[in-house]
Structure 1
């Protein structure tokens, strides 16, 4: 069971690293350089997290599957749905992506914490970085009063739309 939970975390982290690079390549607009440069360190750290998860799977006697075909076959989420878009739109969508990954990591952490403190610790460490990255994203989406533009968004496309200022077509 722990290996299965880690396997899904590995898929999620591999998917996240690819999604972050996709955004890095497809972000445009006045906030381009800030977002473009913010994402590369996130990609690097997420790739390290994927490596750590894969190595833990191996240490537990499992076989980490890192191929795109296995990821697509086994994942429980859809592909990232935003192409070339304004930086704020991408950040709105990424906020939802991070929320999904963080929630699933927390659920896995809670489950493995019942029997495997080492894997629990690994997930806690990863959550620390994932939550920080979401904070970086949300800093672009929050008003000074703390209102999050994507608070009522349920899909990436909706979040991308909701993140845009009202005067943006």
Structure 2
């Protein structure tokens, strides 16, 4: 079986791998939360919020791929299985059924703020062991913060 030799020390690979795995779980669940809201949205601002949620889904899915591929590049196997995400996510889940647009905007604003906080912790944690991963996390965080600003402006 072929494996990828890591350019990082074992200690650095462990720290960076944990940061990437946590980021992967956050981004997978963000895409699921946003898509669930997208499908069940109601309200006077339906169209704008509905389309905006797709932007969040696209950002999360693109970030998932970048994070998972970075993990593999440094010799860490990403785990995006449904059970792993369900067991490890800390994001609040939306209610079942139709969702009022104002509640969705507030919920997504909160979810994005939580994820941004964790991404900023991971940025700090990867500073020394792997600036390349840190750069990736900074880039994703910038996009998350842009979406947070846009959702927050709607509240």
**TM-score strictly above 0.5:** yes
Structure 2 unmatched runs, 5+: 1-14
Match of 2:93 among 77, 80, 92: 80
* 2:29 aligned partner: 15
- Matched residue of 2:38: which SS? helix
* 2:79 aligned partner: 65
* 1:31 aligned partner: 45
- Matched residue of 2:150: which SS? helix
Structure 1 unmatched runs, 5+: 142-169
* Deviations 1:75-100, CA, capped at 9 Å, x for gaps: 3x154133322111111111110110
* Contact 1:82/1:90 (<8 A) preserved: no
Match of 1:126 among 128, 140, 145: 140
* 1:94 aligned partner: 108
* 1:103 aligned partner: 117
* Contact 1:28/1:86 (<8 A) preserved: yes
Residue 41 (structure 1) shift: 2.0
Alignment of 1:134-145 (within 5 A): 134-141=148-155
For the residues of structure 2 that align with 1:101 and 1:78, how far apart are their CA atoms? Answer: 8
Instruction: Give the superposed CA RMSD.
Output: 1.1
Q: Number of residues paired by the alignment?
A: 140
Higher share of residues assigned helix: 2
TM-score by length of 2: 0.86
* 1:6 aligned partner: 20
TM-score by length of 1: 0.79
For the residues of structure 1 that align with 2:61 and 2:95, how far apart are their CA atoms? Answer: 21
Structure scoring higher RCO (CA < 8 A, sep ≥ 6) equals 2
* 1:56 aligned partner: 70
